[in-house]
Amino acid sequence: MATRTDGRVQRGDQTRRAVLRRAVDIASVEGLEGLSLGRLAKELDVSKSGVFAHFGSKEELQLAAIRAGRRIFADHVVNGALEVRPGVSRLWRLFENWVGYSQGRVFPGGCFFYTVNAEFESRPGRVRDALAETRREWRGLLTRNAADAVQLGELSADTDVDLLVFELASFLETANSDSLLEDDPERPYRLARAAVVTRLSALATTGAPRPWEAES
Going from the first residue of the chain to its last (216 residues), give the mean pLDDT of each consecutive group of 10, the final group possibly shorter: 57 83 95 92 86 88 96 97 96 97 94 95 97 97 98 98 97 95 94 97 96 82
Please tell me the predicted confidence (pLDDT) of residue 51. 82
Q: At the topology level of CATH, where does 65-214 sit? A: Tetracycline Repressor; domain 2 (1.10.357)
At residue 197, the pLDDT reads 97
Residue 194: HSE in the Cβ half-sphere, 13 Å Cα cutoff: 6
Domain boundaries, the chain: 65-214
**Cβ proximity of 126 and 63 under 8 Å:** yes
Q: What is the pTM of this model?
A: 0.90
CB 209 within 8 A of CB 88: yes
What confidence score (pLDDT) does residue 90 get? 97
Q: Between helices 37-44 and 2-30, what is the axis angle to 10°?
A: 110
Could you give the CA distance from residue 22 to residue 6 in angstroms, rounded to a whole number? 24
- CA-CA distance, 118 to 146, in Å (whole number)? 26
Residue 60 and residue 66: Cα distance in Å, rounded?
Answer: 10
> What is the per-residue pLDDT for 6?
55
SS (H, E, C) the chain: CHHHHHHHHHHHHHHHHHHHHHHHHHHHHHCHHHCCHHHHHHHHCCCHHHHHHHHCCHHHHHHHHHHHHHHHHHHHHHCCHHHCCCCHHHHHHHHHHHHHHHHCCCCCCCCHHHHHHHHHCCCCCHHHHHHHHHHHHHHHHHHHHHHHHHHCCCECCCCCHHHHHHHHHHHHHHHHHHHHHCCCCCHHHHHHHHHHHHHHHHHECCCCCCHHHHCC
